[in-house]
Amino acid sequence: MAVFRHRKLSFIMNSKKVNAINFPQCSITAILEGMYTMPRIMDNTISPYPLRLITIPIDASKLKLQSLIIYSVGHLPGRIHYRTHASFEKWAAVYIAGGSGVFRINQGPVQHVESGSLFFFRPGAEYEYGPNPGGYWDEYYFSFEGNRINEWLQSWITDADRVTFVGKEDGSQIGRIELIFQLMESGSPANIDRASLLVESLIFEFMLRAEATTESPTKAQQVIKLIEELNHAIYQSFDAREFAKRHHISVSTLRRIVNDYSGYPLGTYIHRMKMAEAKNILLNTDKAVKEIALELGYQDVFYFSRIFKKYVGVAPQIFRNTVHT
């Protein structure tokens, strides 16, 4: 199997009309209906690269946030599959990070999709969508439901049937997506509630981008820029004092911004981002654990291994061997 290294998250959504594909333990239909949670599968009819999938691992009734429930998230890198007559039981937001294609709802006009496009699937409609013949796109999905969506439609999502260009991905959005992935993966009801709120925040920021003008950056945009730079710091040792000084803020302000943005303390946020990248490197390269530790700014490989086990649950080499087997 070809090695594909991609730093981004992966997710998938629930669907009613899906052609079943045989796997050793379950079908893709079962995965899409939320009966299984699978971190990675191969299906060359959809993409030549591994698909990263995660569905809600608990009963939704256990969640405190019932007005917005996220059911599944995933990533289809290098998608080549084109779908027709597709319908969905739940709402979904779809972000295209690369490539191009088309989108059509209820036999209406064909809309162009390019890198940086956002569109929605809603129950009760029929869709035709996918990359152009011979092409591809990188596809991110968030599947959800709840009456909170009505508020979105009444205020800041003006046309849910239209493809909207929201800008090409950046570090801040990838960081937020990674947190959503980790929160869903944890299986904790509180964390899944947090994931739902982060999905709402992500979509809201996307829509703000679409409405952006040439005015001077707002405070919120400045925060996003700070988080983006913070996410780029995973390949070096992080110095909070130096980082805060460069942005003309105090360390306490930096800690507050990160906590408000992610729900995590600054140190935890940095470690989680680094461990997410470590997982990708372990899965997609043959680099030694010591080499990965140094690459991510950890001079002590034993400390790196302890941190990895704390956030992932197993030691780095065990994680690599377990997933590959």
Supply φ then ψ for residue 132, to 5 degrees.
-70, 155
Q: Is the pLDDT of residue 81 over 60?
A: yes
- Name the DSSP class of 11: B
Q: CB burial class (10 A; 0-12, 13-18, 19+) of residue 178? A: buried
* pLDDT interval class at 133 (50, 70, 90): very high
* Alpha-carbon distances, residue 10 vs 96, 214, 280, 310, 318 (angstroms): 12, 32, 12, 22, 22
Mean pLDDT confidence for 59-85: 95
DSSP one-letter code for 75: E
Q: Structure pTM? A: 0.57
**pLDDT tens column, 154-200:** 999 989 999 999 887 666 677 788 889 889 988 899 999 999 999 99
CA–CA separation, 72 and 33 (whole Å): 9
The CATH number that applies at residue 90 is 2.60.120.10
Question: Hunting for tokens 């400045």 — which residue is that?
Answer: 222
Quick one: average pLDDT of 117-128? 97
Residue 10 above 60 pLDDT?
A: no
Q: Would residue 298 count as lying in a domain?
A: yes
Is 230 within a domain?
Answer: yes
Q: What is the CATH number of the domain that holds 260?
A: 1.10.10.60
DSSP state string for 92-133 = EEEEEEEEEEEEEETT---EEEETTEEEEE-TT--EEEEEPT
Q: Supply the range of the domain harboring residue 181.
A: 28-206
Q: Does residue 87 carry a pLDDT above 60?
A: yes
pLDDT at 173: 76
The pLDDT assigned to 95 comes to 94
Note the pLDDT of residue 171: 64
- pLDDT score, position 1: 33
* pLDDT value for 39: 58
What does the pLDDT look like over 274-324, one tens digit per residue? 998 999 899 888 899 999 999 999 999 999 999 999 998 999 999 988 865
- According to the model, what pLDDT value does residue 93 have? 98
**Which residues, 6 or more positions from 95, have their beta carbon under 8 angstroms from its beta carbon?**
117, 118, 139, 140, 166, 169, 206
Is 72 in contact with 55 (CB distance < 8 Å)? yes
Domain boundary among 160, 182, 206: 206
Residue found under tokens 């699978």: 38
Write down which residue in 174, 206, 238 finishes a domain. Answer: 206
pLDDT cut 70: percent of the chain above it: 83
Read off the tokens for 224.
Answer: 């996003």
The predicted structure's pLDDT at residue 170: 62
What pLDDT was estimated at residue 124? 96
The per-residue pLDDT for range 15-62, each reduced to its tens digit, is 333 333 333 333 333 333 343 344 578 889 999 999 988 899 999 999
Q: Which ranges constitute the DSSP H helices of 211-265?
A: 219-231, 240-246, 251-262
Domain membership of residue 6 (yes or no) is no
